[in-house]
Structure formats: structure tokens, C-alpha cells
Amino acid sequence: MTPWGRVLAAVVPVAVVLLVCGFGAETASIPDAPIIVTAAPVYEPLAALRGEERFPKGAQLLMVQAGKAQPLVPDFAVTADANISFDAKTVLFAGKKIAGDPWQVWELTLADRSVRKVIASTGDAIRPLYLPGNRLVYAQRTGHRFQLTAAGLDGADAHPLSYMQAGALPADVLADGRILFEAAFPLGAELSRNPARGVTPELYLVYSDGSGVESYRCDHGSARWGGHQLSSGDVVFTHGASLARFTSPLATEQRITAPRGDYAGAIAETISGAWLLSVRSAPSAPYALKLWMPGSAALQTILMQDRQNLVEPALLVPRLTPKRHPSALHEWSYANLLALDARESREGTLKITPARVRLETLDAAGHPVALGTAPVEADGSFFVQTPADKPIRFVLLDQKGATLRQEHGWFWVCSGEQRICVGCHAGPEHAPENRVPAVLLRSTAPVDLTGNRQPIAQGGH
Amino acid sequence: MNSRRRVHLGAVMAAGAAVLLLILLWSVIDRPARAAAGNAEDYASPLELLFSPDGTRLYVLCNQSNEVRVLDAASYSLIKTVAVGRAPRGFSLSPDGTRLFVTNSWDDTLSIIDTQTLAVVATWPVGAEPSSVVEDRGGTRLFVANRISGDVAVLAAQTGEEEKRLLAGRGASYITPSPDGSKLYVTHVYPNPHAHTTQQGNRLTPESEITVIDTARAVVVERIPLPRIAGVFHTAFSADGRLGVVAEVHPKNLVPLAHVEHGWALANTLTVFGADVGRPVEVPLDELERYASNPFDVVIAPDKSHIYVTHGGSEIVTVVDVQRLLHFIHTHPGSFAQDLSASANYVVARIPVGHNPRGAALTRDGSKLFVANRLEDTISVIDTRANRVASTITLEGPKTLSAVRRGEQTFYTARYSFQGHYGCASCHIDSTFDGLTWDLEPDGFGRDIVDNRNLEDIKDTEPYKWNGGNPNIPMECGPRTEKYFWRSENYDNLTLAALSTYVRSLPARPNRWRQASGELTAAQERGKAIFERGKDKFGNPIAVANRCSYCHSGPKGTSQKSFDVGTLKATDHASPLDTPQLTNIVLAPPYLHDGSARTLEEIWTVFNPNDKHGRTNDLTKDELNDLIEYLRTR
């Protein structure tokens, strides 16, 4: 047994506390199902987005059942990030068998407690999540950043899903099959310990083939991370140190009125609809595992440990398998992108119709590089062929070539992806108008802005 | 080939073969088993509901068992079953409640039921595919909406004698009287044809209307435009007549269907109008990640507090708070039809009900809403104070589901598309078509625009798709649909086989132009001769492959082969086109693969300059009319 295991084996059983803070009618009942939680002396939830260590003093997965907590994988030096399979028979986790190893992705079979390595790489691989179709998504360190990566559960066919010069971490797989992930806003920006003004952690979505990346909502500005989807379809996340949610009817986040405390990371939902949360009473205190029935006034302590943060709870129960995304990517090395009306934006509709749009990418040093321009039609539409699998952004230009507006961040389109946007940052609540974009009446061939040849289209509206 | 995009052809082919085998087995096994599992006509399929004026009876229009079932409104017990004609689609009570009128859409008749004896006392012939009926307050006239002729027939209420026809929208189907009975509001399920061909050809925004009829004068007094709408269903009015609401679909057929999220394919909306509103306003019912697919019936609470809308695809009832809706409309001038967050301001509940909810009826006090779950043979009883289903009435019928029935449920539900956005029936209205052309993504943006083909009698007309790319229905409804339409995980093979069985079972609607004797009229005979002719009017031989009857051969009017008939556009990928079947071809404009011909005549007079689509340029207007008369009989 590792030193960590010995410590935990000795400490955990006696440290389990089932404090009940009020047994009102609305109080949640303690879940019967086992809970898996990560215990760590130090927890820096946003460190991984900066390419740093979330658990600089180690971490260990605990199985909490019937008032007792036991190490889930005692032979490992460090474990974290438990994700329960849809049938609740296996658990994906990130772990280091020996303390000096990089984080790798492993799978524990609960029936016989056997463990197998799923992802073996020279760099860290963390935050694994089951995808439908016997696949998983995880964060793979490339350089000093993490990128979203998908692979088969046999570890084969690993390929990146994100293409940024900044970090991205999967948070959850939604019922509709999309991957919820954390990254900085503006997308592609670096999240530092002292982030630049306006740079905040944010939640994004991407299909499991890497296509369709977008913000979950466009009311940016708040630090949002640790998202988890409830059975209702709402996504609950940490907003700063409090809780908030995205809900289908609303284009903006909805604050959650919960008992006072600092909340961190993802929650888990019990069958009765209560939430398992990581909460601490003060910044100096460790996060404890608590249960809360939304709407009630009290938190119920499930587990608290001296000098241990208990985070990322997961309930060991079967759950619905998300829908598999049937990839419709074409066999191309590039992508096509059609904008219906570049003037449209949540920041206000441009009064002037842009004359042209410039596509930019980033070079290896992170400097913007212009790939060319394409005309914008009088109705604001443009249709371009873009390089795939690399950061890109659009800049709208007037007749004289001056910048009218440019995207705040960088996004990507996948090889073979055909994407349409209502406008530039129009927001997910903005559905398209039913009209043929003027650019398609001019030509159904996109202007080539892949950088492989000179743009041929001239003019503009 | 990139492994992540690799199409596992072997697996797809194996799955397709398994599905085909299932369909084959069902075609053998399902027939004797139907006695237990139920033929289509055995299922009640409740489509519309009505309360008697005193609220003691609930009339249930059963679309597949061809009946009206009369239930005790308190105990829900069956009082009597009244047999009517084929495929009854609409019914209404006379203002005094003594007569119940039923439109039999496949018999082109009207059944008149005496509500005292609950017996059919008369059956009158009416127009083509009658879909709803309303009697005026004085009991002198009946108004019948005819879906095929797109008009409203005005009949003498006591004799059924037709007085005249009033032009309504294409696919006229639903009539709603104003609360005082002075006006009738008529909606239609297919978009109106555009008056002119423009530079954009067939790529024009669909338009619909509410046709307003003055009941006393029996004349059309107004056509309320419904711009951008295609597929309009029921209308409802508040008791004070100041608020009108109509359920409708707002398609996005002109933008490429590259993805589904963010309301990219369709919007499910209401148009509200009347004195409370001012100018008509379109209001969306969808949300950002949840849709209200296929709105059908609308009911307004007696106190005007709420609007209830049934959604056949989403299998829910949405509840709209009227005060909040009106407040939102008045404080948000302009259009917000594209705003998926708008509905949060007025939709207060989404109540799950059964399969394919259609007609709805409120009790007089507004405390209960009854909803007909057409493909479940049940009626959900909703407690309107709690906004939840309080009980469910099960109608008598087969206890098990046949493959066809399961397939029909799959066809009408929206649960398989991404976020439940739409189902097959969203674009194949009542298992037919939608009268629209679409820009599908895989062929490129703005390229290969395709007309949505009619599904009637589609069995044995393979291959499918205009380019003939899909060899059978399981392929059409399976992998292709999953990838390019649902954009989400598809059904399993058993469900796909059931869906395919249902689609293959779709019959042709009765042909209204064939004579009962089977003989052709003189004009039809002349048209048939043109269709089959081997020489043109100048005595020149017409090459066999350029005769109408060559490509459009066989009992369904298709050789099942592909040809280049000179209709490809610069935006089409060069490829021959599948020969469409001619079954009920006259019912399903627009024509040609991209819907560029608004009429049959335009096929030959506008789009066949070089006689590649058959030799037709030697024909006179009268001869083309004869050809059309013949095609009407197919």
C-alpha cells in the first residue's frame, strides 16, 4: 500500500461524519448508492486550464458507502476524475500508478476490482468521460496545454477534438451527445493565474467528432466551470464560488440560490433529485461533500475530512446513455463556412454592411496571420473555404479595409466540416431566418481562404 | 480515409440486410397476426375531440377505425360507437347541438349524425378530401374545407346541395368560427403557390394565409397573410373574440440544412391576432435545446388565462400564459420569431402526453383539458390547475402494436432528431409531402436543391432520392436519415424495420379523377394517347426513350430508372435523375427534382425547351390540358 493509501485507510473510516443540519421536510435523503469522490489536500480547480496541476499534493479516489470511505484504487499513488460507465459496472479515472508517472487514463471494473490502462501517453491524460459507442473523451496534455481528445475504450483511434493554443478540459457528456468543456473566454485565450481583464473560464460545447464548437451561452463575463447536466436537461455549474445553471428556455445563466458557502467543481444528482456538492464554509477550510435538495435551506453533510478537499463526486448508479453523434464530416482536408448575416451579433447589429471579411489564423508563435479576404454580400452573407483543425477567426472590414468588428476569440472547424452561422457571435438563441443567402445566389463555390492559394474572389456588395 | 470518419460499409450493409429480412418476415407473419395485433383500421386513432354543449358527452373522432365514439364525459364510459366514412378528419356540432357533422376525407362525403339517436341520418357527397365542417348560426349553410381543391364549399345545411366554392389556401383543412359565428377562419396545410416565377426560381419564402369568410354573405372578406409559414393547423379564439391564435410551422427550407441545433430546420410557432394584439404577430414555442414539434390544435381557456397547444411530434401540450404573452408582445415590438429564448416569457408548462397528440377539448369550466393521443388510442385528461395529466382514458382496440403501428409512431414522433427538433411527419404532413424544396447539406450549400416528394404508394418505386442514391426504404430512412436529418443517434434495427414497413404500407389516396367505371373521359383518352404516342403531330417518330410512357412506365408510372431530361441546373451535380412515380402526381406540386415547375404545364412549357423531357413542344395548350387530364387519373 502506498503512503497515501495507508494514511487514508487509517484516517478515512474515523473521519466520516454524517452531520445533519436540519431535517426539514425538504431535506434530501442520503443516497443509498455508493459515492466516489476525489480527496485532495490541495485543490486548484482551474489549474489544469492553465496547464498546471490541480492536485499538487496528490489526490485519491474514495468510495463512500454506508458511512465509510475507502480508497477506490489503493494500489495507485494518485487517482482522481472518476466517471461512472452508463451501466455503472466500470469507472474511468485519471491516475498515476507511481507518483512520478504522468497522469494516465485507467478503467476499473467494479466486479473484480481489476484495473486496465486505457490511454497510455507520454504526457498527462486527465478528466476521462465515457462517450456512447464505446468511446471516451479526455484531456491530453500537448505542450503545456490540455486539448480535448477522443478515443476508443481500447485506447485506439485517439484524435484531438480541440485545436487551440490554450487549454480545454471536458466537463460532461450531455444527453444529446455533445461534449461540455471548460476553456477560457474568449475561446483560445490563455487563462493565467492573474488573467487578463475579460479573460474568464467559460463553458463550451463540441460534438464528439470535434465539429460544431460553440459557447453554451453567450452572456459571457462570469467565471463558469465544473458543469454537469441534470436529468432535467439543465446544466449546473460553478459561477465563481456560487452555483448557477443553464436552462433550455433561457439565453442567459440563471443564478441558483443555495445555502451560503464556497462551491467548487461539478455536482452529482441523486435519484431523488438532490445534489451532491463540494462546499466549504470559508476559503481556509477544505471542501466537504454535502447533499442539498434544491430549494431547501439546509445542506446536509455527507462526508468531511480534516485537511482534505472532497471534490468531483459521482454516484455509482446506472444512467442513461447519451445519444451518439453520427458524424457527417466529409473526406476533406479543409472546411466550409457560411455566414448568413455577418452584421448580426449579440453586441449589436452592425449598421454598416461589411465589404469584406478577413480570415486569420495563428502561427506557431501565436501571432495572427491573415489568410485572405472574401466579399461580404449586401445581406451580410459570405461563404468561405477555411483551413481545418487550427485556430481561426474572422475580421469584418469596411470598403477601405478598416476593421469594423473582429471576433474576440479563436475557434476551429474540423476537416470536412460544413458549418453555418447566423452571424458573428449571434448567440445560440438566435435561429436563422428563412431566406437564401445572397452569396449562394452569386456562387455556390466558397472563396478559398485556406491559405493554400491566393483568394480569387474580388468585389463585395 | 480518416478512421474517425470511416463509414463501416460492411456493418451498414449487414444492418440493412437484417432490416430487410425483418420487413420480409413481417410481411409474411404480420398478416395472420393482425387479428391480434390489429390492422390499421382496427386502431381507433382518435384525432379530434368535442364536448356536447351541455358538457355531458365527449365525442371522439376516430380516424382509422372510421367511427365517432361517444363517451360519457364524467365516467368516460362508451355510450355508443357510430360508424362513418373512410378516414374521417374533422367534425363539428351544429350550433343547437342536435347534429354532428363529420367529414370523411377518403370518401368525399359528409356524415350527419343525429345527436339524440346517435345514428347517421344522412351522408352527402362533398368536395375532394373534405377535412373540416362548420354550420352557420342560423342553420342555413354548411362550410366544408376541401384539402385537395383548396377551397371551402358552401352547402345548404338541410339538403347538402352545394351553393358555391370559395377559394382558400392550398390544402385547405381547418375551419374555426369566430365566437359570435359571424366569420369563419380557414387554414391550409400546404404553402400557397407563388404567383410568379422570379429570379430566385423556386427559392422563395413560403407563404400561407388565414382565409376569413363572412358567414352571412358566404364570401371571402379577408386573407390574413402568414408570411414565412408552411403548414397551418387549428385556430382558436378567446370567448370575447379579441384574441385569435393559430398553430403553424415556420420552415427553414431556404438555408442549407447543415445542422439542427438553434432552430435550423423548422420553427414551431403561433400567430396571434385580433383586437388584443393589433397586427398579427408570430411567436415561437421552441426553446434553445427543446422543441415544440408539430403544433396542431389550439384551445383557449374560457377565462382567457391560458392557451393550450398540442404538439404531435414532441408529444406534449404547451401551456401559454395569455397575460404574459400579451405583455411580451406589446413590450417587444417587431419580430422575435427567430428568438429561441422568447418562449420563456410566456410558455409556462410543457406537459408530456401520449403518442402523437392531436385534437384537444376543454371542459366548460376550463378545469380539464382532454387530449387525443392519436397513435396510442388514449385520451390524456390534464388537470389545468396543476398542469399535469391526471388520468388517461384508454379507448377500446387492439392491445398490441403491429409493426405498421410501431412504424407509424416512429414516423410521427420527433424524439429521434437532435434535441427532438422534428420528425418524418414534420415535412411529410399526414404522411404526404410539404410542398417545399430543401437545400440539404451533403450536396453542398446552395446545390442540388430538392423537391420533397410525396410518400403515397411509395412501395416498390425504389430507388429513392432524386439521384436514385438509396436502393431501398431502410437505407433511405436509416443511415442517411440519421446522418443528414436527425443529426443524432437513430432508432435500432427493429424500429427501423417497423418504420420501413409503415412507409411501405402507405396507400395512395383515392383518385378523384378516375371514373367508377374505369373508363377514361374523352379528354383523358386524348391525353393517354399523347402519353403513349410514338409519333409527333408532324408524323415524325419519337424515339422510344423520349416517349412519356417509356420512363413513366409500369403501374406506378416509373421505370425505376434514372434519366437526364434536360432539367438539371448549373447548381446541380451532373447526374441523371430518378424517374418519379406518377401516383396522384396532380396533388403534389411543385414539380421537377428541384420544384422549379409550379404546375404540370410548366414542366413542358417552361422547362422542356429542347424536348428532352419527352416530345411536347409540338403540343397545343388544349393538348397539354388533355395530357394533364390523363395524368390526373394516375
CA distance B105 to A72: 66
Averaged pLDDT, A167-178: 97
- Tell which of B193, B209, B227 closes a domain: B227
- Tell which of B201, B227, B253 closes a domain: B227
Considering only CB atoms, which chain A residues are within 8 Å of B203? 436
The ranges of chain B with pLDDT < 70 are 1-41, 197-200
CA of A101, closest CA in chain B: separation in Å?
A: 29
CA distance A55 to A48: 9
Nearest CA in chain B to A253: B341
CA distance B119 to B572: 57
> Do A294 and A340 fall within a single domain?
no
> Do A355 and A295 fall within a single domain?
no
> Do A23 and A99 fall within a single domain?
yes
Grid coordinates of B626? 388533355
CA distance A134 to A132: 6
Contact A235, A253 (CB under 8 A): no
Q: Which of B627, B633, B421 lies closest to B530 in space, CA to CA?
A: B627
> Do A311 and A339 fall within a single domain?
no
Q: Is residue A5 part of a domain?
A: no
The minimal CB distance from A176 to the residues B1, B264, B418 is found for: B418
Contact B193, B200 (CB under 8 A): no
Q: Is residue B544 part of a domain?
A: yes
Scan residues 405-444 of A and list those with Cβ closer than 8 Å to B. Answer: 415-416, 418-420, 422, 428-437, 440-441, 444
The minimal CB distance from A420 to the residues B253, B256, B267 is found for: B256
| Dihedral angle over CA of B49, B50, B51, B57, nearest 10 | -70
Considering only CB atoms, which chain B residues are within 8 Å of A435? 205, 254-255
Chain centre distance of CA A344: 26
Number of structural domains (chain A) is 2
Scan residues 198-227 of A and list those with Cβ closer than 8 Å to B. Answer: 209, 212
How would residue A11 be classed by pLDDT, with cut points 50, 70 and 90?
very low
Considering only CB atoms, which chain B residues are within 8 Å of A324? 488-489
Q: Which residue has the cell 502506498?
A: A2
CA distance B557 to A416: 39
Q: Is residue A388 part of a domain?
A: yes
> Do A175 and A63 fall within a single domain?
yes
Q: Give the residue, A31 or B352, on which the prediction is more confident.
A: B352
Please judge whether A249 and B344 are an interchain contact, meaning their C-beta atoms are less than 8 angstroms apart.
yes
Q: Is residue A328 part of a domain?
A: no
Grid coordinates of A353? 454592411
- CB-count burial class (<10 Å; 0-12, 13-18, 19+) for A231: exposed
- Digit-coded pLDDT (tens) for A355-397: 999 999 999 889 999 999 999 999 999 999 999 999 999 999 9
> Do A298 and A367 fall within a single domain?
no
CA distance B308 to B299: 5
Q: Which of A65, A136, A150, A67 lies closest to A106 in space, CA to CA?
A: A136
- Digit-coded pLDDT (tens) for B174-220: 999 999 999 999 999 999 998 876 666 778 999 999 999 999 999 99
Mutation target among B3, B5, B439 for the A interface, most CBs of A within 10 A:
B5
**pLDDT at position A142, please?**
92
Three-state SS sequence of B492-560: CHHHHHHHHHHHHHCCCCCCCCCCCCCCCCHHHHHHHHHHHCCECCCCCECCHHHCHHHHCCCCCCCCC
Q: Is residue A369 part of a domain?
A: yes
Mapped onto helix, strand or coil, the DSSP state of residue B430 is helix
CA distance A234 to A244: 10
CA distance B401 to B408: 10
Question: Strand B306-311's sheet: what is its strand order?
Answer: B295-300, B306-311, B316-321, B347-352
CA distance A343 to B282: 23
Chain centre distance of CA A153: 20
Please judge whether B252 and A434 are an interchain contact, meaning their C-beta atoms are less than 8 angstroms apart.
yes
Phi-psi region of A84 (alpha: psi -120 to 50; beta: other; left: phi over 0): beta
Rounded to whole angstroms, the maximal C-alpha distance in chain B is: 77
Specify the pairing of strand A275-280 against strand B109-114: unpaired
Considering only CB atoms, which chain A residues are within 8 Å of B200? 436, 441
Contact A239, A230 (CB under 8 A): no
> Do A282 and A342 fall within a single domain?
no
- CB-count burial class (<10 Å; 0-12, 13-18, 19+) for B303: exposed
Contact B250, B241 (CB under 8 A): no
> Do A338 and A302 fall within a single domain?
no
**pLDDT at position A348, please?**
87
CA of B565, closest CA in chain A: separation in Å?
A: 23
Grid coordinates of B110? 359528409
Q: Is residue B589 part of a domain?
A: yes
Residue B567, domain extent: 522-631
Q: Is residue B571 part of a domain?
A: yes
CATH number of the domain within which B92 lies: 2.130.10.10
**pLDDT at position B511, please?**
95
Specify the pairing of strand A309-315 against strand A300-303: unpaired
Residue type, B97: G
Q: Which of B262, B441, B230 lies closest to A432 in space, CA to CA?
A: B262
Residue A421, domain extent: 334-455
Q: Concatenated DSSP letters for B261-288?
A: TTT-SEEEEEEEEETTTEEEEEEE---S
**pLDDT at position A31, please?**
73
CA of A428, closest CA in chain B: separation in Å?
A: 6
Mapped onto helix, strand or coil, the DSSP state of residue A84 is strand
Question: Strand B119-125's sheet: what is its strand order?
Answer: B88-93, B99-104, B109-114, B119-125
- Tell which of B227, B248, B268 closes a domain: B227
> Do A427 and A341 fall within a single domain?
yes
Grid coordinates of A71? 480508497
CATH number of the domain within which A363 lies: 2.60.40.1120
Most confident region among A20-29, A258-267, B281-290 by mean pLDDT: B281-290
Reply yes or no on whether the pLDDT at A23 is more than 50. Answer: no
Q: Is residue A4 part of a domain?
A: no
Please judge whether A431 and B264 are an interchain contact, meaning their C-beta atoms are less than 8 angstroms apart.
yes
Number of structural domains (chain B) is 2
CATH number of the domain within which A231 lies: 2.120.10.30
Number of CB pairs < 8 Å for A and B? 150
Contacts of B327 (CB under 8 A, 6+ apart): none
Contact A406, A367 (CB under 8 A): no
Its sign, for the CA torsion B14, B16, B20, B25, is positive
Please judge whether B2 and A430 are an interchain contact, meaning their C-beta atoms are less than 8 angstroms apart.
no
Q: Which of B206, B358, B344 lies closest to B283 in space, CA to CA?
A: B344
Nearest CA in chain A to B228: A434
Q: Concatenated DSSP letters for A206-222?
A: E-TTS---EES-S---S
CATH number of the domain within which B546 lies: 1.10.760.10
Q: Which of A405, A410, A387, A385 lies closest to A395 in space, CA to CA?
A: A405
> Do A270 and A299 fall within a single domain?
yes
CA distance B330 to A130: 47
Half-sphere exposure of A67 (CA within 13 A, CB side): 5
> Do A302 and A269 fall within a single domain?
yes
User: H helices within B299-350, ranges in order?
Assistant: 322-331
Helix, strand, coil percent content, chain B, rounded in steps of 5: 20, 30, 45
Integer-rounded Cα Rg, in Å, for chain A is 23
CA distance B374 to A324: 30
Please judge whether B4 and A249 are an interchain contact, meaning their C-beta atoms are less than 8 angstroms apart.
no
**B23 — phi, psi (to 5°)?**
-65, -45
The minimal CB distance from B256 to the residues A326, A338, A428 is found for: A338
> Do A116 and A244 fall within a single domain?
yes
Q: Which residue has the cell 390526373?
A: B632
Q: Is residue A128 part of a domain?
A: yes
Residue B27 to residues B34, B243, B457, B471: CA-CA distances in angstroms?
Answer: 11, 50, 16, 19
Specify the pairing of strand B88-93 against strand A275-280: unpaired
Mapped onto helix, strand or coil, the DSSP state of residue B445 is coil
Averaged pLDDT, A228-234: 97
